[in-house]
Each structure stands twice: as structure tokens, then as C-alpha cells.
Amino acid sequence: MGGDFPHRWTQTKDSILAMKELWTKDEAEYHGTHYDFPAVRSFPKPVQKPHPPVFLGGKALNAFKRVVEWGDGWMPNHASVEEIRQGRETLNRLAKEACRDPSTIQVMAFGMSGQYRDREAIKDLEQAGVGRVTIWLDDTEKSGALREIEEIARQVLD
């Protein structure tokens, strides 16, 4: 897709910073390493203010540093509650070191098949610092997926 693999993270950072400019300003310009454009107008603007949250994944220290520097949240993939708790602690520490309020960093757990499907699991995630959970549905057919959603809702909400 034209990406420069050795420089993928600087390219990702550049693209996110450029998008945030376009999302938040009536007339935006950006002059980065990988993207460079003069003053332009881009509409419609996102409904979310100031812009849609940008979640980054990964479990390495550099991933956490990226979240603190230019992300809005962390989205661990296929992580245990303990891994998420440790990640949240790392984010909090790095945010404080960078003079960023740790509460401005969201955490969204991205569950895999069978993960995070009952009230206890959701409570454990909440205690670990998770504010959003994406639940993987095993059934891809509409009727089966609806049944699966209803079953998960019964287990989580009842």
C-alpha cells in the first residue's frame, strides 16, 4: 500500500497528526516528514469533539510511549486482565513523566473469541482501567450474531 515499513511509526504519527489538524480546524495545513499540504478546507467534520479518539495497540514500552505522546487511547489485543492492568500502570507512569493527565488516556479492550463475555470479566476489566470493550462475535450470520449479542447482554446486563 505504499508504506515505508522501516519508518511505519513515524509515518503513522505523521498521518494521525495531519488528520487531527483536518478534523479540528476549518482551514488546516500540515508540514510533516511524510505528509505535507498547504492550507485546505476539509468537511464534514467528525461528530466527536475535538475529534474521534485515536487508539493505538501494542504491548511494548515504545507502544505505550506513542500512546502518551500522540494517541488518545490504548487498545490491547487478546490481553489478559493482568496484562491490561500492568499496561494501564505503565501508561499512568509515562503520562505523569510527560506532564499529561493519565485520565485523558482511554483504554479499550479488544477481546478475541470467547473473551470478556460475562459480568465478572467486564467488572475485572473496569477495575483494570478499561472504559470500553469490543467483544468478538463468533457467528457471522445476522440471525446467529443477534442471538449471540442477546446472550452476551443477558450475561453482562442482568
The per-residue b/e assignment along 95-130, b for 16 or more CB within 10 angstroms, e otherwise, is: beeeebebeebbbbbbbeeebbbeeebbebbeebbb
pLDDT value for 16: 96
pLDDT value for 109: 96
49 pLDDT above the threshold of 70: yes
pLDDT value for 4: 79
* Topology classification of domain 53-158: TIM Barrel (3.20.20)
The sign of the torsion formed by the CA atoms of 26, 32, 37, 39 equals positive
pTM of the model: 0.87
Element (H, E) at 130: none
Element (H, E) at 73: strand 73-74
69 pLDDT above the threshold of 70: yes
pLDDT value for 7: 87
Domain ranges within the chain, ordered by starting residue: 1-52, 53-158
pLDDT value for 157: 86
pLDDT per residue as tens digits for the range 102-123: 999 999 999 888 888 889 999 9
